[in-house]
Amino acid sequence: MLEIKDLHVKLEEEDKAILKGVNLEVPAGKVHAIMGPNGSGKSTLSYVLSGKGGYVVTGGEAALDGEDLLALEPEERAAAGLFLAFQYPVEIPGVGNMTFMRTAVNAQRKARGQDELSATDFLKEIRAKAKELQIDAEMLKRPVNVGFSGGEKKRNEILQMAMLEPKMCILDETDSGLDVDAMKLVSEGVNALRDAGRAFLVITHYQRLLDHIQPDVVHIMSDGRIVKSGGPDLALDVEKNGYADLLVESA
Amino acid sequence: MSAITQRKQDALTDRLASMTLPEGGAWITEARRAALARLKSMGLPGPRDEYWRFTPPDTLNAAETPEAAVLDHGDETPVFSDFDRLKLVFVDGVFRSDESSDLTLEGIEIERLADVMSTDIHWAKDLYGKLETRAQTPVARPHAALNTAFATEGLLIRVTGKIAKPISVYYRHENATSDCYMHHVIRLEPGAEATVLENGPAAARFNKVMEVEVGDGARFHHIRAQGRDHERRAVTGLFVRQGAESLFKSFTLTANGRLTRNEAYIELTGPDASAHIAGAALGHGDFHHDDTVFIRHEAENCESRQVYKKVLQKGATGTFQGKILVERGAQRTDGYQKSQSLLLDDDAVFLAKPELEIYADDVACSHGSTTGAIDEDMLFYLRARGVDKHTAMDLLVLAFVAEAMEEIEDEGYRQELVGRLEAWLIRRRQE
Ligand SMILES: Nc1ncnc2c1ncn2[C@@H]1O[C@H](COP(=O)(O)OP(=O)(O)OP(=O)(O)O)[C@@H](O)[C@H]1O
Ligand SMILES: [Mg+2]
């Protein structure tokens, strides 16, 4: 599903390399996790894949189902089925959450040659999905993420994911800021979407999330590279011993 | 006389060369003569005048009307068409009775200035040119005095009750060189309520004055859309006097127009009154929009609120000059002023002059003026969800002006203008 080969990325504003040859393959139906120290480049990878400005790809490639992601506009990547749950969801005063979601859902349907959802169908669907994530109707009426608590923002990300039904979902620290119950809700939301045609890349610092969303493979990122990959046990290892030993090993 | 004053006088002499005061009865003739005298003492505006530094007055001053192509609106229906309203139509400043509603409506008297000009006495005598005169200090407004002296069209409206329908004034522009003066006088008797809607570009060059007296406990709503003709020019004056516990709310939407100068002067003369004035202006290219607002608090416990938003690109200029003056004794005044611009590229200009002048000690006044660009993080967030760049920009533009649009209290009118704005944004992209 997602294939990243020797991806090199630097900042646009300064000559600073952030990603220094990332290789990663996430097949359909699988859940991969990325862990790694602060500043190792995890979020940068998620941004570059989804098309955020400010970065320059200096080498390598990234493809979604064989389609060159790096050649597409951000909205085209979304329409192709890529979704990023942001580490820091953006507040947009003046744009209603509902308007935003309806515009997004219909834009993607249009890009894929499907009919737009009628206002009633859209409402029915979003209400049902919001309920599952225990997002109350009031929150849907408010401006996008404005005045939402940290946990509410993260749940709102998962609601968007549930509405858009992407095939490649990247979750960047969706667990941070979530209380125990919210973590369960969010994980259930993610697990409900797991199927043979969909893949997940879960960026996290904690084993806790991976207890709920069981990964098939765990990768460790350090200084702009994937330095180690392994089974779910690798996350347990990190939880217990930190990164120091792992990084020495791989150096 | 200094060279600068001389130039202002010369501009006036030029302008008046082929004009003569219109004929009329005693009340209007007196008002016109007084206005002409005021005008002669001021001259026309010059680029050195304190409140004309941001806006070049020459095309508003010029004796010859600068041409303005008439926009073909295709099958677009005029703004407010779908509302139940009392409709009054002016084409290039001339009243069209064949297109207008019957002027009779419970709780309101509507007359045309042209019809009552020859009478010797009229209730409008107490307001016509009088509120304009009050607005002349401390800031001179020569075009408004010019209007008072030469206008022969306009509406004289006296509201005595609560009006069931809005008064909807529709200005059409059909002549590329029309130069038009329009002078409305509106009096709301104590406790009365009315809504006045205005829409359309009116003329190639439009000079409008609207004097409004809002009596004690009366409520007045004014919503205006200035049309989307690209080349028209307009200078308008909204001069208001409010009594105790009265409410005045005015909102203006401006999209396009080569030059627009919207002046407002609001006097809060009785306690517990509230004045809100707001505007959203959007333009690109040869677009210059100027809001010059002056609010004078004379009584205790009044509230005033100014909210102005401008979206500019491709060489467009937006200017805002806003002042809150709190007189001695106007204790517990709550004054708020916000003026913001969103510049969509590097080739647009926003100039602002926010002012506070306070002579009372127990007041809460704030003002803020900002200039910014589209927030890249917001734009990316929207695009990452599949919203294309243009639609995402439009959403952010609408979000930016939302605070001003919120000043339209009635949901129906607000929706109407938001819808027009959305269509305008889409159309602009296709132009
Ligand atoms: N736009 C930018 N300007 C300057 N530095 C940047 C920018 N984007 C990323 N960086 C730097 O690149 C490095 C990687 O950052 P990134 O956010 O990808 O790390 P991360 O692995 O997600 O860390 P965390 O676990 O703390 O979220 C950091 O040193 C960061 O400061
Ligand atoms: Mg990060």
Interchain contact, A89 vs B385, CB within 8 Å = no
Task: Tell me whether 0.90 is exceeded by the ipTM.
Answer: yes
| Neighbour-count burial for A20-47, b at 16+ CB within 10 Å, e otherwise | bebebebeeebbbbbbbbeebbbbbbbb
CATH homologous superfamily, domain A2-250: P-loop containing nucleotide triphosphate hydrolases (3.40.50.300)
- Asked whether the predicted pLDDT for residue A200 surpasses 60, the reply is yes
Instruction: Write out pLDDT tens, residues A84-104.
Output: 999 999 999 999 999 999 999
The rounded Å distance from CA B209 to ligand 2 centre is: 58
Confidence band, pLDDT 50/70/90 cuts, at residue B298: very high
Choose which residue among A10, A43, A45 to substitute to test ligand 1 binding: the one with the highest number of ligand atoms within 8 A of its C-beta. A43
Instruction: Write out pLDDT tens, residues B164-191.
Output: 899 999 999 999 999 999 999 999 999 9
pLDDT at residue number A249: 61
B142 in a domain, yes or no? yes
Confidence band, pLDDT 50/70/90 cuts, at residue A240: confident
Domain ranges of chain A: 2-250
B175 in a domain, yes or no? yes
pLDDT at residue number A250: 59
Flag whether residue A107 sits within 8 Å of chain B, measured between CB atoms.
Answer: yes
- Residues in chain B closer than 8 A to A79 (CB atoms): 386
**For ligand 1, atom 25: residue with the closest CA:** A38
Average pLDDT over residues B367-384: 96
pLDDT at residue number A47: 97
**Closest chain A residue to B386, measured at CA:** A75
Cα-Cα-Cα-Cα dihedral of B143, B145, B148, B153, to 10°?
Answer: 0
pLDDT at residue number B113: 96
Query: Quick one: which of B300, B242, B299 has its CA closest to B276?
Result: B242
Instruction: Kindly report the pTM of this predicted structure.
Output: 0.93
- Asked whether the predicted pLDDT for residue A251 surpasses 60, the reply is no
Q: Specify whether the CB–CB gap between A125 and A117 falls below 8 A.
A: yes
The rounded Å distance from CA A234 to ligand 1 centre is: 23
**For ligand 1, atom 17: residue with the closest CA:** A43
- Percentage of chain B modeled with pLDDT above 90: 94
The rounded Å distance from CA A86 to ligand 2 centre is: 9
Interchain contact, A78 vs B403, CB within 8 Å = no
B353 in a domain, yes or no? yes
B297 in a domain, yes or no? yes
pLDDT at residue number A186: 85
Interchain contact, B391 vs A160, CB within 8 Å = no
Average pLDDT over residues B36-48: 96
B393 in a domain, yes or no? no
SS3 assignment, position B267 = strand
Evaluate the omega torsion of the peptide bond into residue B56 and state whether it is cis, within 30 degrees of 0. Answer: no
- Residues in chain A closer than 8 A to B392 (CB atoms): 75
Counted domains in chain B = 1
B421 in a domain, yes or no? no
B226 in a domain, yes or no? yes
For B186, the domain range is 3-373
Rounded CA separation A72/B396 (Å): 22
Instruction: Write out pLDDT tens, residues B200-257.
Output: 999 999 999 999 999 999 999 999 999 999 999 999 999 999 999 999 999 999 999 9
B409 in a domain, yes or no? no
Query: Quick one: which of B213, B122, B115 has its CA closest to B159?
Result: B213
- Contacting A residues, span 176-215, partner chain B, CB-CB under 8 Å: none
Average pLDDT over residues B75-100: 95
Alpha-helix residue ranges (DSSP H) falling in B279-375 = none
Round the average pLDDT of chain B to a whole number and report it: 96
| Nearest atom, ligand 1, residue A47 CA | 18
- Asked whether the predicted pLDDT for residue A202 surpasses 60, the reply is yes
